Structure 1
Amino acid sequence: MADLDKDPAGPPGCPSAEGGSLLPAELHAWMLLLAATGAVEQRLRTVVKERLGVSHDEFLILCLLAAQPEQGLRMTQVAELLGRPKTRLTYQIACLQHSGLITRQSVCGDKRGVQVALTHQARSLLQEASGSLAETVTDALGRFMGPAQREAVRGLLPDLVEGPASEVPGPAPV
């Protein structure tokens, strides 16, 4: 908290960023990256709820499906890609279906398989909200990724180049 009092606009201090860490460089870099992304996620939760009316976990499902062809994905694939238990995912899918944002149907030839896909309503909603969501991410990264975090990311991704915030790439296809 003391670091925030000194420079409220700067990123919070990280005691282990000063060197002498017991962790290998890769693990240290990963922990700094997790701290920065956790801070971004906290900022994004509010905007997602306001703009899309869904929880952050439901938003992750929508983003995953948005990167897919219109036929969507099997629920088992969604669970694996997001690292979520299937039982929790079933509840979130039901909420999204009830909101009219996804469709759910049985997979032909596999009575246990369930395919989920975005509706046109969800695609429109995501498209309308994408600007403010991207701005939230860019602003939060700018605030929480100080020199130590950027250096940590470079340690994990040595070919990463530093560019203006407007060049932040979109999500990679899954």
Structure 2
Amino acid sequence: MADLPECPSASDDSLLPDELRAWMLVLASTGAVEQRLRSVVKERLDVSHDEFLVLCLLAEQPTGLRMTQIAELLGRPKTRLTYQIACLQHAGLVTRQAVCGDKRGVEVALTDKARRLLAESSGQLAETVLQALDQFMGPAQREAMRALLPGLASEADAQ
């Protein structure tokens, strides 16, 4: 976007230290991405954004994760996560099983159906993330973020 303000860290008269300005940029960028992803996730996977985050965590695990680990990683209350996992299980996207040797432990894993849906949707989801970040960030932020996301358009590409 041509009318974005300069990168906040470029200002010498800021009240906030660089670390807090960077954190605020991360939060704002995350919000922009989440807003865009919500509709794409619902359309492509027919799950909520929070359920999508669970699927993404599980996609990075070869076997699965304990419910307590998922709750900690997402910063979600265990009761809310239990409901989300039940919805995902009902949709045939995850399985739940007791952890061997731990009566209270429950491990959650992706089903083949979930893996197929994520594989089919990943390109469009990745493009949605890049578009949201590209539209939200100014040139300096895009340059800093490009180290993490090489597909993010350069300033010349964005014009």
Counterpart residue type for residue 128 of structure 1: E
Counterpart of 1:123 in structure 2 is 115
- AA aligned opposite 2:130: T
Distance 1:12 1:55, change over 3 A: farther
Q: Matches of 2:3 and 2:128 in 1, distance apart?
A: 16
Where 1:165 maps in the other structure, the secondary structure is coil
Q: How does 1:19-58 map to 2 (within 5 A)?
A: 19=11, 20-58=13-51
Could you say if the C-alpha distance between residues 109 and 161 of structure 1 is closer, same or farther in structure 2, counting changes exceeding 3 Å?
A: closer
The 8 Å contact of residues 4 and 137 in structure 2, kept in 1 or not, is answered as: no
TM-score (norm 1): 0.78
Per the alignment, in what secondary structure is the counterpart of residue 103 of structure 1?
Answer: strand
Residue 165, structure 1, aligned to residue 152, structure 2: yes
Match in the other structure for 1:171? none
Cα distance in 1 for residues equivalent to 2:150 and 2:58: 29
CA offset at residue 148 of structure 1?
4.6
Cα separation, partners in 2 of 1:142 and 1:34, compared to 1, 3 Å? same
CA spacing shift, 1:102–1:11, aligned 2, 3 Å: farther
- Match 1:134 to one of 114, 126, 133: 126
Task: Write the distance in 2 (CA, Å) between the matches of 1:75 and 1:162.
Answer: 29
Shift, 1:165, TM fit:
2.7
Conserved? CA contact 1:79–1:86, under 8 Å = yes
Deviations 1:71-101 (A, max 9, x none): 2010001111111111110110010001110
* Counterpart residue identity of residue 26, structure 1: E
The root-mean-square deviation of aligned C-alpha atoms, in Å, is: 2.5
Question: How far did residue 147 of structure 1 move?
Answer: 2.6
Q: Number of matched residues? A: 152
Per the alignment, do residues 90 and 122 of structure 1 end up closer, same or farther by CA in structure 2, a change over 3 Å counting?
same
Contact 1:107–1:113 (Cα < 8 Å) also in 2: yes
Structure 2: 5+ residue runs without aligned partners? 154-159
Deviations 1:10-54 (A, max 9, x none): 475489567222111111111012112211110011100000000
Change (3 A) 1:101 1:66: same
Distance 2:6 2:57 in 1: 31
Alignment counterpart, residue 108 of structure 1, candidates 87, 95, 100: 100
Q: Percent identity?
A: 70
Note the alpha carbon deviations across 1:118-158, whole angstroms, 9 max, x for none: 0000000101111110111111111112135346x57xxxx
Q: Within 5 A, what are the aligned runs for 1:56-67?
A: 56-67=49-60
Unaligned runs of 5+ in 1: 1-8, 155-159, 167-174
